[in-house]
Structure 1
Amino acid sequence: MKKKLAIIGGSYLQLPAVLKAKELGYEVHCFAWRDGAECEGEADYFYPISIIEKENILRECKRIGIDGITTIASDVAVLTVNYVASHLGLISNPDAYSDITTNKYLMRECFTQNDIPSPRYTIAAKDDAYSIQGFKFPLIVKPTDRSGSRGVEKVFDPVQLDKAVFRAKKESFSKDAIIEEYVAGCEISVESISFDGVHYILQITDKVTTGSPYFVELEHHQPSSLPNDIKQRVKEIVLRALDALHIQYGASHSELKITKDGDIRVIEIGARMGGDFIGSNLVELSTGYDFLGATIKVAMGEFKEPRITDRCYSGVFFLCKETERLMPIFKNWRYYPEIVKVEIESVDLRHVECSGDRSGYFIYKSSENTFKV
């Protein structure tokens, strides 16, 4: 009899997990709203229940008799995964610490208490006034509980601030925003997997964004081009941060900034895979390690210590008005042997304010760091 895996979320972000779980021989039960649920036709069983309805999902999972539960690339779904797993005695991160891995303000508080270097911050709560006394502009304003650059904005003076805070609160589930001092420098992420409190760093990703004011991600490249000594310091800080957040199982995606002077600041950490194909595609392309499969196996209690079998270069370029120069490559991608996957959702390109505004992507793999556009 097949083991049963519950996957929380049904959008295109979860589709790689559904397909991988079926490839691994598991019976897949997917929970999500039907609207936009690309996984509905791929999962063995689909339940049109919102991912925030924890009690209803718990009730169904208990009835089904699931053997594991997981999600990828969704902070909101992490709350339900931990809640259900804790009630059913399944593998997950502790539900008691779910909030500090999904709420940016609580995460900052945790970093401060554990001497993890991060930007100066304050909260603009739903109904309360906020103070930025002593803060230096520019500032970054973002919702406390969203991802995908949604609601993020760089602010250069007090005149802009109230508008940016209003915009971020509007995007926030809790209607709270976090205000933090802007850290200038290069942006990276660290992709890791953990089991029973032991962390394995798999890859470091270089990021390219639109920059001010919205910082929507346009490119990701692995491995990072950072000097080895900086990479080592990054790894040491991330390992301490993962412990501070009580991340014990599964994938994690840590975002950091590095200044021109080599100072490192942790921006945020997700107790799940990075989106934008970082976890589902790029890590395996650059390392040979099936990160997605391993994340599923963690949930099912079948994890084995990672082995890196390949050392290649991989990356993704996104299509939008800001990257319109890439359109000839998108149209003639068959002439580029490095490109392994491409999709154009629309040729009507838009300037982007969040990742949902992008119109397509292509993913590449190369044995040498020679793929340039």
Structure 2
Amino acid sequence: MGATIKIAIIGAGYMARIFSDNAHQLGIETHCFAWEKGAVAADFVDYFYPISIFEKDQILELCKEIEITGVVATTELTIPIAAYIAEKLNLNGISYDDAQKITNKYRNRMCTLDVQNLNQPRFALVSTKNDIFKLNFKLPFVLKPSNLGGKRGVSVVNNLDELDLAMEYTFQNVNDSTCLIEEYLDGGIEYSVESLTYRGTSYIIQITEKISSGPPHCVELGHSQPACISKVLKKKIIETISEALEKIGVVNGPCHTEIKIIKDEIYLIEFNARPGGDHIAWPLVDLSTGFHYIQAAIKIACNDFTGVDYKKLKQRYAGVRFVTEQTSYLKPLFDVCEKFEWCYKKNEINEDLTCLKNNNGYNTNYFIYASDKPVDIDKINDDISR
């Protein structure tokens, strides 16, 4: 790829900075579009345009003038904007029609009802408490926004005394008058599937095992790659998610699909048609596989992708642990983690541990590990704590 290649990055958060850094490694010029306030990526891109992401026609005209080669989304909100620009410029992307719906969890569940081996919890759209009462859902159940990812607004309702507070919490994150109610999937382990799709062909790059806080908000407290699963289950996940991605309209670009495995059965949590945040897509996938996931996503957008040679993927171990109030037991290891060879990065924001209510992996205490051998974080921590 030559120096004249130009990528449009929609949004200016942490993922936008990651896209810019990776684009520069490829010799690509970066153009970022977002509000100036809170624009983390503004100082790391070649050109920053302080324009609301919702001014899609204004961004489109600028992209025409710049002669943009590809366009990438960085968050759920930017997916339709990136798709609109890509479609208008005849670049690789998701169709604008699908992109306007692809963040809707209810729609995605309906689209994938007939996918073999993909189980769905009972689910419905609700607007009021009366809607919930009429459905007669068994407790506990889950309330969540139907149009947002990242566990924002998710609340597990264990008894009806918690319902008012849970609904208030969920509807603070809802853009319309409805939210999703789902059967609570008890037991099992949460995973995410990191994929790339190019012209309708999907490649599963990595499967991530997650550490969840559990109810009420199911916040993610850590990630490990690769997931500790059997070859048979891995094959099943790859085949199932590849079919599901086609059903929801992911024909180009990255997707971060969240699932839960209960007794070797796959249950859908949600799709996110963008790279996995909280360090998953970068640097964890790079560290565990040696495959430059974000760079590949950029190449897909620029129509310069040549597929994935699975034989060249490395079999390494990588992960992140967020050191919060919920994981205060990790504080002894966090204090000294940089002394270990497996420590890739330590990020200390505050000596006081805070309680995570939403996934926020960039603005909290964490450490990232990477090694050719498995790293038993809990055992190392226990040894230090004695």
- What interval of TM-score do these two structures reach, taking the shorter chain for normalisation? over 0.9
CA–CA distance in structure 2, aligned partners of residues 110 and 46 of structure 1: 37
2:226 aligned residue (201, 223, 226): 223
Alpha-carbon displacement from aligned partner over 1:161-185 (angstroms, at most 9, x marks no partner): 2431232121123353111001122
Alpha-carbon displacement from aligned partner over 1:169-213 (angstroms, at most 9, x marks no partner): 211233531110011221111111111101111111110011111
Distance apart, 1:123 and its partner CA: 1.0
Distance apart, 1:130 and its partner CA: 4.9
CA–CA distance in structure 2, aligned partners of residues 322 and 130 of structure 1: 30
Q: CA 1:347–1:53 in 2, change beyond 3 Å: closer, same or farther?
A: farther
Residue matched to 1:199: 202
Distance apart, 1:126 and its partner CA: 8.5
Residue matched to 1:211: 214
Residue matched to 1:6: 8
Aligned residues of 2:103 and 2:272 also touching (Cα < 8 A):
yes
Residue matched to 1:345: 349
Gapped regions of structure 2 (runs ≥ 5): 379-386
SS in 1 for 2:286: helix
Distance apart, 1:62 and its partner CA: 2.2
CA–CA distance in structure 1, aligned partners of residues 339 and 160 of structure 2: 50
Distance apart, 1:333 and its partner CA: 2.6
CA–CA distance in structure 2, aligned partners of residues 51 and 362 of structure 1: 32
CA–CA distance in structure 2, aligned partners of residues 216 and 78 of structure 1: 23
Aligned residues of 1:145 and 1:174 also touching (Cα < 8 A):
no
1:118 aligned residue (117, 120, 125): 120
- RMSD between aligned alpha carbons? 2.0
Scaled by the length of structure 1, the TM-score of the pair is 0.94
CA–CA distance in structure 1, aligned partners of residues 164 and 129 of structure 2: 13
CA–CA distance in structure 1, aligned partners of residues 298 and 334 of structure 2: 32
Greater displacement, 102-111 / 118-127 = 118-127
Aligned residues of 1:187 and 1:257 also touching (Cα < 8 A):
yes
Aligned residues of 1:142 and 1:168 also touching (Cα < 8 A):
yes
Q: Which amino acid aligns with 1:240?
A: E
CA–CA distance in structure 1, aligned partners of residues 129 and 304 of structure 2: 46
Q: Which amino acid aligns with 2:314?
A: D
2:320 aligned residue (316, 331, 335): 316
CA–CA distance in structure 2, aligned partners of residues 258 and 309 of structure 1: 24
CA–CA distance in structure 1, aligned partners of residues 183 and 8 of structure 2: 39
Aligned residues of 1:122 and 1:132 also touching (Cα < 8 A):
no
Alpha-carbon displacement from aligned partner over 1:338-369 (angstroms, at most 9, x marks no partner): 11112112223221211238622211111111
Matched, 1:362 2:367: yes
Count residues with an aligned counterpart. 371
After TM superposition, list the pairs within 5 Å mapping 1:167-206 onto structure 2: 167-184=169-186, 185-206=188-209
CA–CA distance in structure 2, aligned partners of residues 132 and 144 of structure 1: 20
Q: Which amino acid aligns with 2:319?
A: G
Q: CA 1:104–1:128 in 2, change beyond 3 Å: closer, same or farther?
A: farther
Q: Which amino acid aligns with 1:89?
A: N
Scaled by the length of structure 2, the TM-score of the pair is 0.91
Distance apart, 1:152 and its partner CA: 0.7
Task: Give every structure 1 segment of 4 or more consecutive aligned residues whose post-TM-superposition deviation is greater than 3 Å.
Answer: 113-116, 125-132
Alpha-carbon displacement from aligned partner over 1:63-117 (angstroms, at most 9, x marks no partner): 3221110023x11111111011111111101111113321112112212365642
Q: CA 1:22–1:78 in 2, change beyond 3 Å: closer, same or farther?
A: same
Greater displacement, 58-67 / 246-255 = 58-67
Q: CA 1:326–1:127 in 2, change beyond 3 Å: closer, same or farther?
A: closer
Aligned residues of 2:123 and 2:183 also touching (Cα < 8 A):
yes
Aligned residues of 2:126 and 2:181 also touching (Cα < 8 A):
yes
After TM superposition, list the pairs within 5 Å mapping 1:18-37 onto structure 2: 18-37=20-39
Distance apart, 1:131 and its partner CA: 5.4
Q: Which amino acid aligns with 1:98?
A: A
Q: Which amino acid aligns with 2:210?
A: K
Distance apart, 1:53 and its partner CA: 2.8
Matched, 1:246 2:249: yes
Q: Which amino acid aligns with 1:302?
A: D
SS in 2 for 1:101: coil
Alpha-carbon displacement from aligned partner over 1:256-299 (angstroms, at most 9, x marks no partner): 1111x332211111111111111111111111111111001100
CA–CA distance in structure 2, aligned partners of residues 334 and 114 of structure 1: 45
After TM superposition, list the pairs within 5 Å mapping 1:1-373 onto structure 2: 2-72=4-74, 74-112=75-113, 116-125=118-127, 129-130=131-132, 133-184=135-186, 185-259=188-262, 261-307=263-309, 308-356=312-360, 359-373=364-378
SS in 2 for 1:171: coil
